[in-house]
C-alpha cells in the first residue's frame, strides 16, 4: 500500500476514534456552562452572565490543537415561584496536523423549581447544530503522482477519494442541577448532565455510520467562608465518554479580588497498562475587577506522553449587576 493511501487511512481512523471525544476545559470546574445546560440563568435576579475560554494544548507536539468557547446566559425572574434561564454558546476546535475542524452552536433553556428547605431544582435542555471536517479534498493520493514525470493528476481512482464529506448534525443534551440557598456564606450544589442523547452520526465517509458517544458528567461544588472575608470552594467533576473517563478534584481560594486554584486531573479507568492515575496538575490564578473575572490556568503533564509544554487556558467572564437585590450580590461560583 502506498504511503499516501496509508496516511489517508490513518487520518480516517483518527477521525473515527479520537474526534469522537468532546473537548474538555481545565476551567470547567469554574465555568460550568461548558458541562451542563442546567446552569443557564444560574445567577438569577435578571442577571446576564457571559464569557469566553481559549485553550492551547500540547504546543511542543506540533499538533497546534486549539479550542475556543463562548457563551451568554440570562436569568428571568417573575416572583419566588417562577424563574428560568436562556442561553446560547458556541465551541470551535482546530487541529493543524490534519486540518481537523469542529464547530458547534447551541441554544439552551433551564427552568428553576423552588423546593422546600431552601433548595432549588434546575432542569435544562440544549439543542445544537454541529459540523466536523478534515478537508480530505486537499489530500494527494499515491495514484495521482506520476513518478517518471512528476506530474500530479487531479483525479484519483481510490474508492474513498470522492466518498468523503463534511459532517453536519443536530445534537440534543440535557442536565439537572440541585442548589442549596446560601446560608451564612455557605453554598453548595451538585449536577448531572448527559450530552449527545440522540448519538448523531459523525462519520466522514458517506453511507457509513459512526455514532457520537454519549458524554456523562457528575459534578459538585461546596463553598464556605474562611477567615471572615475570604472563601474556599471545593470542586469535583467526573466525566465519561465511551471507554474513557476523567475525575477532576480541586479547590479554589479567594482572597479579596484574587483567586488561586489547584486541580488534580485523574484517569480512574487507566485503559491500558501504561495509563497513569494522575494525568496532570492544573494550577489556576484569577482576578476579579468590577463585573469581570480574568482567569489563567496551566496544566502540568504528569504522564509519560513526553515534553508537551502542558496546556494553557485563558478565561474572561462578565456578570452584570443584581437588579432585584437590595445590595449587589457576589458571584455564586
Q: What is the pTM of this model?
A: 0.84
CB atoms within 10 A of CB 145: 15
Nearest to 105 by CA among 191, 169, 194: 169
- pLDDT at 226 exceeding the cut of 60: yes
| 185 vs 4, residue with greater confidence | 185
The tens digit of pLDDT for each residue in 2-33 reads: 444 433 443 444 444 444 579 999 999 999 99
Q: Would you state the pLDDT for residue 144?
A: 66
Dump pLDDT digits (tens) for 301-319. 887 666 667 799 999 999 9
Contact present, 307 and 279 (Cβ < 8 Å): no
| Contact by Cβ (8 Å): 315, 32 | no
Report pLDDT for 129: 97
Q: What is the mean pLDDT of residues 184-201?
A: 95
Which residue in the block uniquely carries the three cell numbers 472575608?
A: 229
* Sequence spans of domains, the chain: 3-319
Phi, psi of 27 (to 5 degrees): -95, 15
Q: Which pLDDT score is estimated for 331? A: 81
> What mean pLDDT, rounded, does the chain reach?
85
Q: According to the model, what pLDDT value does residue 99 have? A: 76
pLDDT tens across 113-169, in order? 999 999 999 999 999 999 988 765 555 666 667 667 766 776 666 655 555 667 899
What does the pLDDT look like over 160-180, one tens digit per residue? Answer: 555 566 789 999 999 999 999
Check if CATH label 2.30.30.90 holds for domain 3-319: no
pLDDT for 12: 41
- Cell numbers at residue 36, please? 451542563
pLDDT of 86 > 90? The answer is: yes
Digit-coded pLDDT (tens) for 250-289: 999 999 999 999 999 999 887 666 667 898 999 999 999 9
Amino acid at each position: 500500500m502506498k504511503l499516501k493511501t496509508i496516511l489517508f487511512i490513518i487520518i480516517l481512523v483518527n477521525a473515527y476514534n479520537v474526534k469522537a471525544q468532546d473537548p474538555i476545559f481545565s476551567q470547567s470546574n469554574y465555568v460550568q456552562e461548558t458541562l451542563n445546560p442546567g446552569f443557564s440563568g444560574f445567577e438569577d435576579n435578571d442577571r446576564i452572565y457571559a464569557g469566553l475560554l481559549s485553550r492551547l494544548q500540547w504546543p511542543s507536539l506540533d499538533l497546534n490543537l486549539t479550542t475556543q468557547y463562548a457563551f451568554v446566559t440570562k436569568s428571568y425572574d417573575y416572583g419566588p415561584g417562577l424563574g428560568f434561564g436562556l442561553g446560547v454558546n458556541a465551541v470551535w476546535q482546530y487541529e493543524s496536523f490534519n486540518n481537523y475542524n469542529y464547530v458547534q452552536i447551541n441554544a439552551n433553556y433551564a427552568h428553576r423549581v423552588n423546593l422546600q428547605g431552601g433548595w432549588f431544582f434546575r432542569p435544562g435542555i440544549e439543542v445544537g447544530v454541529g459540523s466536523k471536517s478534515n478537508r480530505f479534498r486537499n489530500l494527494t493520493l499515491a495514484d495521482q503522482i506520476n513518478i517518471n514525470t512528476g506530474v500530479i493528476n487531479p483525479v484519483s481512482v481510490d474508492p474513498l477519494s470522492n466518498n468523503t464529506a463534511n459532517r453536519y448534525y443536530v445534537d440534543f443534551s440535557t442536565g439537572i442541577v440541585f442548589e442549596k440557598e446560601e446560608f451564612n456564606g455557605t453554598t453548595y450544589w451538585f449536577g448531572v448532565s448527559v450530552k449527545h442523547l440522540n448519538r448523531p452520526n459523525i462519520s466522514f465517509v458517506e453511507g457509513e455510520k459512526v455514532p457520537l458517544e454519549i458524554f456523562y458528567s457528575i459534578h459538585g461544588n461546596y463553598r464556605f467562608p474562611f477567615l471572615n472575608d475570604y472563601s474556599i470552594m471545593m470542586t469535583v467533576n467526573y466525566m465519561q465518554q465511551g471507554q474513557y473517563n476523567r475525575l477532576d478534584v480541586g479547590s479554589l481560594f479567594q482572597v479579596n479580588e484574587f483567586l488561586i486554584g489547584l486541580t488534580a486531573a485523574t484517569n480512574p479507568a487507566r485503559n491500558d497498562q501504561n495509563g497513569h492515575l494522575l494525568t496532570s496538575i492544573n494550577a489556576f490564578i484569577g482576578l476579579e475587577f468590577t463585573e469581570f473575572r480574568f482567569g489563567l490556568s496551566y496544566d502540568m503533564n504528569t504522564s509519560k506522553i513526553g515534553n508537551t509544554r502542558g496546556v494553557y487556558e485563558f478565561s474572561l467572564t462578565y456578570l452584570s449587576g443584581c437588579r432585584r437585590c437590595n445590595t449587589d450580590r457576589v458571584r455564586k461560583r
